[in-house]
Amino acid sequence: MTKDEIQQLVLTTLDRDGQIADSKSLGVPDQLELLGVLNSLLSMEVIEYKPIDRDLWVLTDEGSEIAEHGSHEVKVFNAVPTGDVGIPVAELQKQLGAVAKIGQGQAFKNKWIGKKGANVVRLVDSVEDATQADLRIIRETANHPDAALPPLLRRRKLCDKQKITTYAVTKGSKFTLNVAKQASELTMEMLQSGAWKTLSFKKFNFDAEGVPPTGGHLHPLMKVREEFRQIFFEMGFTEMPANHFVESSFWNFDALYQPQQHPARDAHDTFFLKDPAATSDFPAEYMDKVRTVHSKGGFGSTGYGYDWKVEEAEKLLLRTHTTAVSANMLYRLAQQPEFKPAKYFSIDRVFRNETVDATHLAEFHQVEGVIADRNLTLGNLIGFMDQFFRKMGIENIVFKPTYNPYTEPSMEIFSWHEGLGKWVEVGNSGMFRPEMLLPMGLDPDVRVIAWGLSLERPTMIKYGIDNIRDLIGHKIDLDLIRNNPVCR
């Protein structure tokens, strides 16, 4: 039935009978389609309607099968021969299969059959298939005169309840047989011809439910990033502006007292930019101090004693760590007239020219934290790391000495992984060297503790992903992103 046909049927029936007590009598196969028509007539006040909710009983597949071919218990009864000998249970099973098991119980309960030794015998001469008869009644009328019966049959999974809604319809204040077709959209043609002036427009239904949007899901990495951010904020940190991927070698390496011939500064490990290849936008005075500390030493250090070149520092690159941002922030902190303790963090992308494999990509997200205060000690760093990882749900951490050009001492952080049964590296940390901090102009008693870790590793552990390419890139399963909750 088309919408127009349904509308015509509703209107002519109302016109003839004055009302429609129950729309069931109209015989419209699709109640949703009918509802659409009723709503549109309602919005024009042509009709009014009230829903009638009703429970219907419908047969399950098994119920239909029994209505058609008889109940299990009757099949069992029929399979038991007349006379005193009966039939062995095993034989019954062989003949009827699964039906025997289900049918026997009911047949015993009905006292149709009984046990005699190892055999089953008939206890009555004949039986009536009441279940089949009952199911047939339900099949025909969607109900049963004995109201207690359908629930019992439902317990045996032979029928089930279904809610259906039909409608009682009455005439509205503007009832008419000739409902003008309403326009649902204002078109260019209507505007050009002026037809919009006389046309009747469909009212907006502000109660209609929208289609749920399919987009707008956070990637697991972004969910875990959000958790980390909350931890940092809880602990009083400020977020660093880490939203630029291109950095100068100066901030990425030189400011961090990383010598110019360090292997990390090789094109094998770092992506350098071709165009533009360099920048010369640096604080001159500070750059001079960096040159001095690298080439000649100073601030109590002998330096590296090599010929520091500005061209090397000017080279642009994709930052290899967010510690470049930390260096910049600490330099700015040092320019304040008076030192104030600071806690900074960032969680953003870094890039390394690495061979891509199951656990490495050429880019990843780094979680970076920095605390600057007077007279901090290694004890502060260890204590703080313990607290920080505890908040992430990692309780058991140990430290191992390591080397970074910009920290002394430096410590790798390991955590016990229950699943893997071994210590896994979760971060790298240390206290920034005086060769890095003093040229910036920070007071000599200001110490800076810092640490970095990847966002990918904890995310993969939390989401049980063992190949990084299942987490990032064109091979990932979009359902993973849609359906995974934020998890700890």
SS3 218: coil
Contacts of 187 (CB under 8 A, 6+ apart): none
Nearer to ligand PHE, 160 or 412 (CB): 412
When asked if residue 451 is in the footprint of ligand PHE (CB under 6 A), the reply is yes
End-to-end CA distance of the chain: 53
Q: For ligand PHE, which residue of 131, 270, 346, 428 counts as binding (CB under 6 A)?
A: 428
d(CA 84, CA 386): 82
At closest approach, how far in Å is the CB of 249 from ligand PHE?
15
By CB atoms closer than 10 A (0-12, 13-18, 19+), residue 423 is middle
- Tell me the two tokens of residue 475: 């091979």
d(CA 427, CA 344): 17
d(CA 427, CA 454): 7
Q: For ligand PHE, which residue of 450, 455, 460, 468 counts as binding (CB under 6 A)?
A: 450
- Tell me the two tokens of residue 185: 């959209």
The crossing angle, in degrees rounded to 10, of helices 61-69 and 130-141 is 120
Q: For ligand PHE, which residue of 258, 407, 415, 459 counts as binding (CB under 6 A)?
A: 407
Pairing, β 87-88 against β 47-59: unpaired
Nearer to ligand PHE, 235 or 278 (CB): 235
Alpha carbon distances (Å) from 83 to 72, 91, 121, 124, 138:
21, 16, 7, 11, 36
At closest approach, how far in Å is the CB of 368 from ligand PHE?
6
Nearer to ligand PHE, 224 or 450 (CB): 450
Nearer to ligand PHE, 166 or 258 (CB): 258
Q: For ligand PHE, which residue of 260, 404, 415, 459 counts as binding (CB under 6 A)?
A: 404
- Selected range binding ligand PHE among 155-163, 243-251, 284-292, 427-435, rule: CB under 6 A: 427-435
When asked if residue 462 is in the footprint of ligand PHE (CB under 6 A), the reply is no
Q: Looking up tokens 């990882």, which residue turns up?
A: 389
- Selected range binding ligand PHE among 166-174, 183-191, 428-436, 468-476, rule: CB under 6 A: 428-436
Q: How many CB atoms lie within 10 A of CB 34?
A: 24
**Virtual torsion, Cα 84, 88, 92, 95, nearest 10 deg:** -110
- Selected range binding ligand PHE among 74-82, 83-91, 94-102, 449-457, rule: CB under 6 A: 449-457
> Which residue has the closest beta carbon to ligand PHE?
452
When asked if residue 321 is in the footprint of ligand PHE (CB under 6 A), the reply is yes
Q: How many residues bind ligand PHE (CB under 6 A)?
A: 11
d(CA 481, CA 488): 16
At closest approach, how far in Å is the CB of 287 from ligand PHE?
21
At closest approach, how far in Å is the CB of 404 from ligand PHE?
5
Amino acid (1-letter code) at residue 61? D
**Interaction pattern, residues 367-396, with ligand PHE; x per rule: CB under 6 A:** -x----------------------------
Q: Which residues bind ligand PHE (CB under 6 A)?
A: 321, 323, 368, 404, 407, 428-430, 450-452
